[in-house]
Amino acid sequence: MSTWWSRLKALTRRLAAGEKADRALDEEIQAYLREDIDARIRSGDSLEEARRAARAELGGVEQVKERVRDVRTGAWLDALVQDARYGVRTLLKTPDYSLAVVGSLSLGIASVIAAVAFANGITFRPFPGVRDQRELVDVRLEECARSHSGCIPMDTRHEDYLALREAATDLQGIAASTATTVAAALPHPRPLSASLVTANYFDVLGTTAAVGRTFAPEEANLDRAGVAVIAHRLWMREFEADPTVLGRAIRVADQDVVIIGVAPQRFAGVDLRIDRSGPDIWLPMPLVDRVANATAVSDDPPTGDRYFRYIGRLAQGSSFEQVRAQADPIAQHITARNGIRRPVRAAVRPVRMYPRDELAPIIALVLAVGSIVLVIACVNAANLLLARGSARQHEIAIRIAIGASRRRIIRQLLTESLLLALTAAVLAVPLVWWSLRIASGYLIVPMPLDLTVLAATVIVAGASAVACGLAPAFRITAHAPAAAFGPAQATGATRAQTRGRRAILVVQVALSLGLLAGGVQLVTALSALHRSSGTPPDRLLIASFDLKQLNVREADAETFYAQLLARVSRLPGVQAAGLAPARAVWTFHRGKGRDNSVVVWRPADGPREGTVPLGGYAAGHLIEALGLQVLQGRSFTDDDRRASRPQVAVVNRPFADQILEGQALGATLRVAARGQPYTAATEVRVVGVIEAAQEPSYVRDPPYAVPTIYLPAPLEPAYALALYLRANESAAVAPLVRDVVRQIDPRVPILQLESLAQADERIFLAENTLARATAILGLIALFLATWGLYGVVSYMVTLRSREIAVRLALGARPSTILRMVLSNAMTPAALGAAVGAAAAIVIGRVIQSEVHAPGGVNPAAIAWPAAGMIAVMLAASALPAARAGRVNLLQLLKEN
Amino acid sequence: MTARKDVPQGTLDLLILRIIAREPLHGWGIMQRLRQLTEQVFQVTPGSLFPALQRLEESGWAEGSWDTSENNRRAKYYAITKAGRRQLAREEQHWKAITIAVARVLEGA
């Protein structure tokens, strides 16, 4: 112990002494030498002989000093400090080179950190404000298709929830929730995303209010249920974070509710998805029938049920299977009650932001792209280090000659690359922080730069330092010192070195071309899938309304929509306007809303054999506004529209083909609103077949359209409708529509007002963002690659400038030299471009099969980057070659 | 001429401690004593002497101080410390035990 103590003292003393300790050591060895010489003279040697013998025995003052330094406590620390100091000095001496390496590495490191932050954000981040998330389970009552394994949640009733709560004794608690959009007056009319929850919802999630309280048990009764918890975001935005908001009454649908609490910041229950920001307001479940428009997603015959999500918290030591077994009888009970003929089951799953299978490919894609950028950056840096190493061969040869070991030199070079990588990492962090700030505007997933991400940064920086520094360090120190002083050095590179560089070049060109072309193809694929028929998405404006929430009478609703249609049709720039239930034209993969559900019976169908297509009431010039062509027969006439009950119908191509087997025109159908019995159905005659409005799709299926039927008059009072406007410029018309609505009835909120292009953008935000991120990373990779390529190629040519000058002096023609230089650079470039293009074609095919891109592989996406890269390589080799041609041979020979 | 052997690891420290236990000496003086005492069996060079001195000083077993040598030159003299004497005693004991054991094995074989 005392030994350790004295070593520590020695270390601190020496560190305090600094250079003095080294001088003392030097002096001590010199004194030894003098004593030795004296002694040798005393024994009869001449001064010269004595000196030589003494020095020979000592073996060099510096070497002895080096050995003493090696045994000192903290020798490695000394060495590190020394290496680092030396490294900083060396790197500062050539700032342009250092900047190039740091810049390249920081872009590469930033890409990986961003990818890690993204993966970290969506995999490991818990739902904000939710306690012990691991205990939470999703209890789903599902009905499954017979033919395949796909299961969708069943619609259920409140009594099913009560039964579930009773049965699931292995849960500490179970809560139900259902989502809807409500019209609220705050006091300005405004649509709010609402979640109707059971009173125990916040308790099950373990969430306490940021301000005020959450729901109390007695608020499960209708007469006490006029209360609300608002989202932190809404509180900030609408109430300026005023704490006195508690107790204030707001109007939601036609219901007055009192604000009792504010949810914690970012709390969104367990519904948070990549493209959704979560509810604005939570309301007690008893209000569900008052405020919620139907959001049932089921295709099956109408029931009074709706979709509820059930979240449970597992009791200590309970298993998923126990809960599943307890919930299963309830699923069977619902089947019997609702007459469901398909298999049903209860499923219990952990609550996650994303299901694992959905997440894995996204994370893999993002991490892979980020890593490829880093690889390119490392290759760049390695090339630069190698080039720099050749230039430093003199210095290194001298260090080896005066006694430095190869290991020591390698350590020195690695320390330098570590310094560069750490600087790069330090620069990368703000770069990532800034880009994540931008990204988090689009993606709701929190992507904080937490400890995991910072640890990853350090690891990535270290790894890239080793990756880009190791090979050059070995290469550079592999030369015999003599070679560095000889004339061979002038050519700058051994044959192996040149081959190595060429190989790196091929890899670099191939990687960046493949990545970039893949990214471009992904982006074009994703944007190309948007509708090929009908009104262009940016010219179709959609505005949706729900008057049911305002509790208006049927006649008032009718008047409102009639006035709306008449006035917007007269707006400047509007070509056609029509009304239809929300999601009657496109489902946007959210299922058919109940509002637009029509049940249709063919003449031969029995009462229980009706089908539920998309569509329903279509007012005004809907088909014209959508820009759908009439393929057979005709569109609606004013006479059709004047009838109070529909007498005719227009169907789309899939309806005609699939339901009417091609014999559409003139067919007679019975139609009823969903929920009405067969006996209440009306007979209609099909007078026209129109082109289908294709569903936008990123999934593997080919583009498809749902069978759709349109009727010129409503089957039941229409409260919730969407306005479809074909305009020259939807952005210019949108504020005019807002004005028109305000003039007709200022209480009516516009639930959504956006062009179809905006709706697509919103709904496929995650996919779009990922595609763009990939393309941006591809651009960074291209930038890095061209930069690196230029550096390497021009360096390789510069190394040969002596040879070029000699050849020219000996009478070679400049064109011959140029051809030689160009072929040397272009061969690896062409090879790399070929490999990269092949990779890009493969990537294109994969993308095509995954997202269904029309047109398949995009040749332009490959040709442009390839052409650009080859142009860069041409410039990089031709410019130094031209310079070499002007070199004064005498000057060059003198230098060597 | 017989080939001289390198000093076994750790033994050099013991030998130096033994030498400076009698009187403080500077580097060259220690070197001379080592040569005399080991009758040039071991090959000790300045390249191994100075690291050993550094180790002893850092471990607190020897203490260096600058003084004037008999030839009127400045030199660094190494003196054994109390801890050094304890260490020397321990090492001697240890060394004797080993040599006795090894000798016994070699003779018995």
Q: What is the pLDDT of residues A434-446, one digit of tens each?
A: 877 776 665 555 5
| pLDDT in the model for residue A216 | 93
Segment A647-660 mean pLDDT: 90
Percent over 70 (pLDDT), chain A: 82
Read off the pLDDT of residues A637-646 as tens digits, 9 standing for 90 and up.
988 988 888 9
In three-state secondary structure terms, A727 is strand
- Model pTM? 0.61
Q: Rounded distance, CA A292 to CA A182, Å?
A: 7
Phi, psi of A44 (to 5 degrees): 110, -5
| pLDDT in the model for residue A441 | 60
pLDDT at A659 over 90: no
In three-state secondary structure terms, B64 is strand
| pLDDT in the model for residue A125 | 62
**Better-predicted residue by pLDDT, A740 or A465:** A740
| pLDDT in the model for residue A793 | 72
| pLDDT in the model for residue A857 | 64
Q: Which of the given ranges, A207-216, A694-703, A819-828, has the highest pLDDT on average? A: A207-216
Residue A535: CB atoms within 10 A of its CB come to 24
| pLDDT in the model for residue A506 | 83
Cis peptide before A703 (omega within 30 of 0): no
Q: Which of the given ranges, A242-251, A345-354, A509-518, A817-826, has the highest pLDDT on average? A: A242-251
- C-beta separation of A179 from A279 below 8 A: yes
**Better-predicted residue by pLDDT, A743 or A791:** A743
- C-beta separation of A828 from A499 below 8 A: no
Q: Which of A33, A64, A77 to mutate to test the interface with B (most CBs of B within 10 A)?
A: A64
Cross-chain Cβ contact A32/B27 below 8 Å? yes
pLDDT at A771 over 60: yes
Q: Kindly calculate the radius of gyration of chain A based on its CA atoms and give it in whole angstroms.
A: 38
Read off the pLDDT of residues A841-850 as tens digits, 9 standing for 90 and up.
887 777 666 6
Query: If you measure CA to CA, which chain B residue comes closest to A14?
Result: B58
Tokens of A37: 């010489």
Segment A265-269 mean pLDDT: 84
Partners of B55 on chain A (C-beta within 8 Å) are: 71
> Comparing C-alpha atoms, which of A648, A647, A655, A613 is closest to residue A631?
A655
The pLDDT confidence band at residue A577, using thresholds 50, 70 and 90, is very high
| pLDDT in the model for residue A197 | 93
B73: closest CA of chain A, how far (Å): 8
**B109 contact partners, CB below 8 Å, separation of at least 6:** none
Phi, psi of A442 (to 5 degrees): -95, -40
Cα dihedral across residues B82, B83, B86, B91: positive or negative: negative
Q: Who among A3, A29, A73 is closest to B50 (CB)?
A: A29
Partner residues linked to B108 by β-bridges:
none
B63 touches chain A (CB under 8 A): no
| pLDDT in the model for residue A804 | 78
Q: List strand residue ranges (DSSP E) for A460-596, in order.
A: 540-546, 574-580
- C-beta separation of A87 from A416 below 8 A: yes
Partner residues linked to A156 by β-bridges:
A306
Q: Is A588 exposed, middle or buried (0-12, 13-18, 19+ CB in 10 A)?
A: middle
| pLDDT in the model for residue A310 | 93
Segment A691-702 mean pLDDT: 64
- C-beta separation of A281 from A231 below 8 A: yes
Q: List strand residue ranges (DSSP E) for A761-851, in order.
A: none
Tokens of B26: 């500077």
pLDDT at A542 over 60: yes
pLDDT at A22 over 90: no
Which of A280-289, A669-678, A878-887, B57-66 shows the lowest per-residue confidence on average (mean pLDDT)?
A878-887
B24: closest CA of chain A, how far (Å): 15
pLDDT at A297 over 70: no
Tokens of A794: 């021009």
**Better-predicted residue by pLDDT, A233 or A356:** A233
Q: Rounded distance, CA A38 to CA A45, Å?
A: 9
- Name the average pLDDT for chain A: 80
Cα dihedral across residues A492, A494, A500, A506: positive or negative: positive
Read off the pLDDT of residues A113-160 as tens digits, 9 standing for 90 and up.
888 887 777 676 667 788 888 889 999 888 776 554 556 777 788 889
| pLDDT in the model for residue A811 | 81
Tokens of A664: 């559409």
In three-state secondary structure terms, A570 is coil
| pLDDT in the model for residue A304 | 52
Q: Is A295 exposed, middle or buried (0-12, 13-18, 19+ CB in 10 A)?
A: middle
Q: Rounded distance, CA B3 to CA A291, Å?
A: 103
Chain A interface with B: residues with Cβ < 8 Å = 2-3, 5-7, 9-11, 24-25, 27-29, 31-32, 34-36, 38-39, 57-59, 63-64, 67-68, 70-73
Partners of A5 on chain B (C-beta within 8 Å) are: 60
In three-state secondary structure terms, A483 is helix
Partner residues linked to A578 by β-bridges:
A620, A724
| pLDDT in the model for residue A302 | 38
pLDDT at A230 over 90: yes
Partners of B71 on chain A (C-beta within 8 Å) are: 35, 38
Partners of B73 on chain A (C-beta within 8 Å) are: 31, 34-35, 38
Which of A208-217, A329-338, A589-598, A779-788 shows the lowest per-residue confidence on average (mean pLDDT)?
A589-598
Partners of B75 on chain A (C-beta within 8 Å) are: 28, 31-32, 35
Cross-chain Cβ contact B46/A38 below 8 Å? no
Tokens of A782: 């291209």
| pLDDT in the model for residue A741 | 92
pLDDT at A702 over 70: no
The pLDDT confidence band at residue A411, using thresholds 50, 70 and 90, is confident
Query: If you measure CA to CA, which chain A residue comes closest to B73?
Result: A31
| pLDDT in the model for residue A445 | 57
| pLDDT in the model for residue B1 | 38
Segment A529-555 mean pLDDT: 78
Cross-chain Cβ contact B60/A6 below 8 Å? yes
Phi, psi of A264 (to 5 degrees): -60, 160
Q: Is A691 exposed, middle or buried (0-12, 13-18, 19+ CB in 10 A)?
A: middle
Q: Rounded distance, CA A713 to CA A618, Å?
A: 7
| pLDDT in the model for residue A474 | 81
A397: closest CA of chain B, how far (Å): 23
Tokens of A822: 């160009």
| pLDDT in the model for residue A487 | 45
| pLDDT in the model for residue A650 | 94
Phi, psi of A214 (to 5 degrees): -100, -170
| pLDDT in the model for residue A205 | 93
Q: Rounded distance, CA A85 to CA A87, Å?
A: 5
Instruction: Please give the interface size between A and B, counted as residue pairs whose CB atoms are below 8 Å apart.
Output: 82
| pLDDT in the model for residue A198 | 93
Segment A401-422 mean pLDDT: 83
Partners of A72 on chain B (C-beta within 8 Å) are: 54, 58
> Comparing C-alpha atoms, which of A823, A216, A782 is closest to residue A517?
A782
The pLDDT confidence band at residue A303, using thresholds 50, 70 and 90, is very low
DSSP letters spanning A394-426? HHHHHHHHTT--HHHHHHHHHHHHHHHHHHHHH
Parallel, antiparallel or unpaired: strands A136-144 and A540-546: unpaired
Read off the pLDDT of residues A27-71 as tens digits, 9 standing for 90 and up.
888 888 888 888 889 888 888 988 898 888 888 888 888 788 777
Question: For chain A, how many residues are written?
Answer: 896
> Comparing C-alpha atoms, which of A713, A693, A740 is closest to residue A569?
A740
Segment A322-335 mean pLDDT: 89
